[in-house]
Structure 1
Amino acid sequence: MHRLLDKLAVVFACALLAACSQSLGKSADGSGSTLGLTPAGEALAFQADDDFGKGLSSAQRSALTAAESQALNFGEAGQPVTWGKQGGAVFGSVVVTQPFRVGLSNCRRFTHSLTNKSQNHQSIGTACQRGGGSWRLVQ
């Protein structure tokens, strides 16, 4: 009986791991995109600060989101990834820290700065990514 329970425990653990590995790396739409920010495909800066980016056009929001994705996925620690035209009405940059691990997740802290009509805004947070999937705000 004891051996049977051990075997069942192993089978259950394997099934659980298989289910988890299949769901990792999938975006909310099931496309399996590995460079996504959030399942909704929007910048984490908007989640970290509800007032961040208010009044931006969809093109500006897209540029901001693309820069954040670039910084989280490929950015060098301390080096800004910029978007928009420096000196224009709306522009910004994202600076990330060195990646670090929390359990099975890759994580980075980020600071997203935005200048909108001479007003400066900043969104700061920590994002984690598990298994190459979407980045998620954790702080």
Structure 2
Amino acid sequence: MNVRLVLVAGSLMLAGCGTTGMGRGATGGGGQSGPVSSTVISAMGGGLVSGSIGSGLSGSERRSGLEAEYKALEYTPSGQPVVWRGSQSGRYGEVVAAQPYRVGSQDCRQYTHTVYAGGAGVSARGTACRNADGSWTPLT
């Protein structure tokens, strides 16, 4: 009887070490389809693509990059790229999120966004934490 109690308690402790909200419906390469809501995108404050790596991109290309950031953070397993394509040939990018971890009651992930605009890629790194409403807030 005591052995069962120890096994159950140990299982519960291990289950508590996992993260929540990550990987739901994950497919290789972040294959989630459909638009990301404007509310969720707004909470990201422009993400990494709004910085210097996004200069020269159109508004729709920055939106595609920001959606890729969200999909990488929310749905994609660690190390798998989420690729987005721009409206002009040669403009695209990829976002790769690292393993999720917990800070207090929030799930957080580091990630890298690389933008290609006709030449070599330009990369930026950041960290974002997931809010209760499903949005992600980049840390400054």
TM beyond 0.5: yes
- Structure 1 122/57 Cα, relative in aligned 2: closer, same or farther at 3 Å? same
Equivalent position of 1:36 in the other structure? 40
Amino acid across the alignment from 2:103? V
Q: Larger Rg: 1 or 2?
A: 1
The CA distance in 2 between the partners of 1:103 and 1:38, in whole Å, is: 23
Secondary structure, in 3 states, of the residue corresponding to 2:78?
Answer: coil
Equivalent position of 2:127 in the other structure? 126
Equivalent position of 2:107 in the other structure? 106
- 2:79 aligned with 1:78, yes or no? yes
State the percentage of identical aligned residues: 34
Total equivalences in the alignment: 102
- 2:44 aligned with 1:45, yes or no? no
Contact 1:43–1:64 under 8 Å retained in 2? no
Contact 1:43–1:69 under 8 Å retained in 2? no
Contact 2:95–2:112 under 8 Å retained in 1? yes
Amino acid across the alignment from 1:55? G
Equivalent position of 2:60 in the other structure? 59
Secondary structure, in 3 states, of the residue corresponding to 2:52?
Answer: coil
Q: What is the CA distance between 1:90 and its match in structure 2?
A: 0.5
Contact 2:78–2:99 under 8 Å retained in 1? yes
Secondary structure, in 3 states, of the residue corresponding to 1:82?
Answer: strand
Equivalent position of 1:115 in the other structure? 116
Q: What is the CA distance between 1:38 and its match in structure 2?
A: 4.2
Secondary structure, in 3 states, of the residue corresponding to 2:127?
Answer: strand
Task: Report the aligned-residue RMSD.
Answer: 2.3
Equivalent position of 1:137 in the other structure? 138
Which blocks of at least 5 consecutive residues in structure 2 are unaligned? 1-36
Q: Structure 2 length as normaliser, TM-score?
A: 0.64
Contact 1:38–1:136 under 8 Å retained in 2? no
Q: Structure 1 length as normaliser, TM-score?
A: 0.64
Contact 2:94–2:115 under 8 Å retained in 1? yes
Contact 2:49–2:62 under 8 Å retained in 1? no
